Amino acid sequence: MPTEILLTDPPLWLTTPLLGEPAATALLHTLDAELDWQRPTLRLYGREHVIPRAQVWMGDPEAHYRYSGRDFCPEPWHPAVAELRDLVIANLADQGVQAGFNSVLLNRYAGGEERMGWHSDDEPELGPDPLIAAVTLGAERPLRFRWKPGAAPAGDAGAAAPFNAWLPHDSLLVMGSGVQRQLQHALLPRRIPGLRISLTFRRIQS
């Protein structure tokens, strides 16, 4: 499986394809049809906002998670998601990376206007230095990265600039050690039509 290295320090890389066809497209439709997609409201600066996407939180029963001030209890693993989790773990093992995931946040973007704002996946439950594996199915959109203040690599100005990681259908983006500490990422609205579902596998420490 071809791998494209986006950053070496901290490590950020993209592997495509992951499942191959027709499996990847079949999985997109299975998840779209069979999951109980939720649009919770979040409190931001004292006001309630419906999130601009839909989501499902899934995982082992003990993998509780606080996100934007709310406590999420995971849904049990859908068999297709559990199978994908194991494939991602095997793919990482092939690349010499030991990883275990007890939970996944699934995000469903109905079209280009749906989005996720700037953040790092740095909640305390994830531990000091999480490895997060993000699978994309459906429309190809860019995940935008920007360096946190003081974290950008020294040297030429280009290395410190924000950049896009284009995430094609059936791809695996790995955010390794230091990515959450040094960078933020966002899925910004773009005039790119089509359904996209992402699965960000994580390990919650208990």
Ligand X SMILES: O=C(O)CCC(=O)C(=O)O
Residues 70-109 that bind Fe ion (CB under 5 A): none
- Which one of Fe ion, ligand X, none is in contact with 105 (Cβ closer than 5 to 8 A by kind)? ligand X
Residue nearest ligand X, CB atom distance: 198
Which residue do the tokens 């779209």 mark? 32
Cis check for the bond before 189: say yes or no (omega within 30 of 0). no
Give the C-alpha distances (Å, rounded to integers) separating 99 from 93, 106, 133, 136, 184: 7, 19, 9, 19, 22
**Segment lying near Fe ion (by CB under 5 A), choices 18-26, 117-125, 144-152, 157-165:** 117-125
- Which one of Fe ion, ligand X, none is in contact with 91 (Cβ closer than 5 to 8 A by kind)? none
Of 32, 121, 123, 140, the one binding Fe ion by CB under 5 A: 121
**27 three-state secondary structure:** helix
**57 three-state secondary structure:** strand
d(CA 74, CA 58): 4
> Tokens at residue 171, please?
């791809």
β-pair partners for 116? 187
Give least dist CB 156 to ligand X, A.
Answer: 27
Cβ closer to ligand X: 91 or 107? 107
Cβ closer to Fe ion: 28 or 143? 143
Give least dist CB 121 to ligand X, A.
Answer: 5
The reply on whether position 125 binds Fe ion by CB under 5 A is no
Cβ closer to Fe ion: 28 or 199? 199
Give least dist CB 202 to ligand X, A.
Answer: 8
Contact positions vs ligand X (CB under 6 A): 105, 107, 116, 121, 134, 143, 167, 185, 187, 198, 200
Does an H or E element contain 23, and which? helix 23-34
**135 and 171 Cβ atoms separated by less than 8 Å:** yes
Give least dist CB 206 to Fe ion, A.
Answer: 21
d(CA 139, CA 196): 5
- Which one of ligand X, Fe ion, none is in contact with 137 (Cβ closer than 5 to 8 A by kind)? none
